[in-house]
């Protein structure tokens, strides 16, 4: 392998034109150095005498040329190899031909030393020139990169600004000017405290502390900014530290104005809240009508059937049995209407609150579905706002409906957890489970409209839903509502 590499390197060297130039120079210098042996034509002798080549010192000096050239083209190794070749070419004259062997030997050694020193010097100069060239190229690339960054910075659609650790703004782009209402010149003389309310400033201090302590934080985050006209803008903000020599010196912010988007979301949430409220009011009205009118009418009909069966002594046995069957059918209808009325609007929810309503729901599901269902309460019980209790009940009701319709479960649990920051309800079962979509937003597209509706209901009160399921391993749905 080593032999192969040596041959390969030698082949690359011999392919370079400089190698052959050095070889030609060595030959041309050596040719007059041994003119006695080579029997040069007579007219060369006077020329060489005129040039001072009688002691052949001048040719030895000329050997410096290929040595220095080799150092410039191939580095110090090339110079060293060429100087060895030059010595090999000069030594035969020093030993066998020269009339002044001592002087010739000193001159030869001097050529070897001087050649290598000059070669190393020229090689160093070449490396320095190459380094300067690379440095200049890198400097030009850096300037081009800075110019590109400056153009991106100035023309970015998102607002970008930098401020030092004290909040003094260092620079900002045109989008920041448009967002804040202040010109770039005005911004460069301001402090970020000018744009922030007390609440926003507190959030900014928290972000600053986390970044300086290298703590994990979720980005982008929402922040509110006060414009020049004193209106409020909602921003989606990403913040990062700027370092100089390993030390943090500034904060960089990239902001996107989502004010209109937030307003649309709030309007949509308000619309959905109103729709949900109207639906619940209609459910409540229908429930009361079923209970107060339909159910009472069925009770009256049952009593009349009982009276008819007991008063008419001449009624045949077949007729009596027929009346009994009718009374039983009416009783069944009464039970269905009562269940429908409770399903539409449980009386316990309005009068007693969420937990009694969930107890009723578990009992009702266990009765008509034969699924053993229990309610487990953790933490200190407390009443929640009416709207929140209604949303939690409807989500739990829909979750339990999915359990008895689709899960093929034999057991289910409704777990209610109260703590200082949130209220959590988890509905779990031991059923067959199902394959989860990649995101919860895909539920409606996959036909799971009930789960999608539960997600929308949770959002109305600022809550979230987490769904866990695996084929053959049961399912659980968790609703988290902030306190």
Beta bridge partners of 237: 221, 255
371 lies in some domain: yes
Q: Which of 257, 291, 322 is the last residue of a domain?
A: 257
Do 242 and 212 share a structural domain? yes
DSSP state of 193: G
Distance CA 17, CA 176 (A): 60
Three-state secondary structure call for residue 376:
strand
76 lies in some domain: yes
Nearest to 74 by CA among 123, 112, 134, 127: 123
Do 402 and 364 share a structural domain? yes
Question: How far is residue 312 from each of residues 320, 322, 331, measured CA to CA in Å?
Answer: 9, 14, 21
Do 216 and 87 share a structural domain? no
Residue 254 CA to chain centroid, in angstroms? 15
Do 473 and 359 share a structural domain? yes
1 lies in some domain: no
409 in Cβ contact with 403 (< 8 Å) = yes
Give me the CATH number covering residue 358: 3.30.565.10
Do 26 and 121 share a structural domain? yes
Give me the CATH number covering residue 162: 3.30.450.20
* CB-count exposure of residue 238 (10 Å: 0-12, 13-18, 19+): middle
Strands 372-378 and 411-418: parallel
Do 325 and 274 share a structural domain? yes
Q: Which of 140, 169, 195 is the last residue of a domain?
A: 140
147 lies in some domain: no
Residue 343: other Cβ atoms inside 10 A: 14
Q: How many domains does the chain have?
A: 4
113 lies in some domain: yes
Query: What's the token pair of residue 275?
Result: 């729709």
Mean pLDDT split into 10-residue runs, the chain, 483 residues: 53 75 83 68 55 61 82 78 85 80 81 80 77 82 74 78 87 84 85 86 88 85 87 86 86 85 71 66 68 73 74 69 78 75 67 85 84 90 84 86 85 90 90 75 59 78 85 88 81
Q: Which of 257, 286, 321 is the last residue of a domain?
A: 257
State the residue for tokens 């769904």: 467
Nearest to 166 by CA among 213, 215, 202, 205: 205
State the residue for tokens 């290298």: 214
Query: What's the token pair of residue 216?
Result: 């994990």
Range of the domain at 376: 348-483
Strands 372-378 and 232-244: unpaired
Q: What is the pTM of this model?
A: 0.46
Do 298 and 220 share a structural domain? no
235 lies in some domain: yes
148 lies in some domain: no
9 lies in some domain: no
CA angle 425, 222, 426 (to 5 degrees): 5
Helices (H), 93-167: 101-155
Question: How far is residue 175 from each of residues 152, 171, 469, measured CA to CA in Å?
Answer: 11, 12, 46
Do 77 and 43 share a structural domain? yes
Do 160 and 285 share a structural domain? no
Per-residue exposure over 365-389, b if at least 16 CB sit within 10 Å of its own CB, e if not: bbeebebebebeeeeeeeebeeebb
Do 352 and 341 share a structural domain? no
Q: What is the pLDDT of residue 2?
A: 45
Distance CA 213, CA 299 (A): 72
Do 177 and 89 share a structural domain? no
Do 102 and 54 share a structural domain? yes
């Amino acid at each position: 392998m080593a032999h192969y590499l040596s041959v390969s390197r030698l082949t690359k060297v011999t392919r370079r034109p400089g190698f052959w130039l050095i070889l030609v120079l060595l030959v041309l210098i050596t040719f007059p150095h041994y003119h006695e042996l080579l029997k040069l034509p007579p007219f060369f002798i006077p020329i060489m005498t005129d040039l001072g080549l009688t002691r052949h010192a001048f040719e030895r000096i000329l050997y410096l040329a290929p040595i220095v050239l080799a150092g410039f083209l191939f580095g110090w190794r090339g110079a060293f190899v060429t100087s060895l070749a030059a010595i090999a070419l000069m030594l035969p004259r020093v030993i066998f031909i020269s009339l002044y062997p001592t002087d010739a030997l000193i001159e030869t050694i001097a050529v070897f030393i001087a050649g290598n020193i000059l070669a190393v010097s020229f090689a160093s100069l070449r490396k320095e020139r190459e380094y300067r060239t690379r440095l200049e190229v890198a400097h030009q690339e850096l300037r081009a990169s800075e110019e590109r960054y400056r153009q991106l910075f100035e023309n970015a659609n998102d607002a970008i600004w930098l401020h030092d650790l004290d909040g003094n703004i260092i620079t900002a782009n045109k989008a920041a000017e448009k967002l804040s209402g202040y010109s770039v010149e005005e911004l460069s003389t301001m402090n970020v405290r000018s744009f922030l309310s007390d609440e926003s400033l507190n959030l900014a201090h928290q972000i600053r502390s986390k970044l300086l302590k290298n703590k994990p934080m979720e980005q982008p985050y929402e922040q509110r900014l006060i414009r020049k006209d004193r209106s409020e803008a909602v921003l989606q903000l990403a913040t990062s530290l700027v370092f100089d020599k390993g030390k943090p010196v500034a904060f960089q912010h990239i902001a996107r104005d989502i004010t209109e988007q937030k307003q649309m979301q709030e309007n949509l949430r308000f619309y959905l809240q109103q729709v949900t409220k109207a639906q619940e009011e209609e459910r409540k009205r229908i429930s009361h009508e079923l209970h107060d009118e339909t159910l009472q009418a069925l009770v009256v009909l049952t009593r009349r059937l009982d009276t008819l069966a007991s008063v008419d002594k001449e009624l045949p046995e077949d007729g009596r049995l027929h009346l009994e069957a009718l009374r039983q059918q009416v009783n069944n209808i009464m039970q269905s209407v009562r269940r429908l009325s409770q399903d539409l609007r449980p009386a316990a929810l309005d009068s007693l609150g969420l937990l009694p309503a969930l107890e009723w729901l578990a009992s009702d599901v266990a009765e008509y579905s034969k699924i053993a269902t229990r309610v487990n309460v953790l933490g200190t019980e407390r009443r929640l706002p009416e709207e929140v209790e209604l949303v939690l009940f409807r989500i739990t009701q829909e979750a339990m409906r999915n359990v008895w319709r689709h899960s093929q479960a034999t057991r289910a649990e409704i777990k209610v957890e109260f703590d200082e920051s949130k209220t959590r309800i988890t509905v779990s079962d031991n059923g067959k489970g199902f394959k989860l979509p990649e995101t919860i937003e895909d539920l409606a597209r996959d036909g799971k409209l009930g789960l999608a509706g539960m997600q929308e209901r949770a959002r109305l009160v600022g809550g979230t839903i987490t769904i866990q399921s695996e084929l053959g391993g049961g399912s659980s749905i968790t609703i988290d509502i902030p306190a």
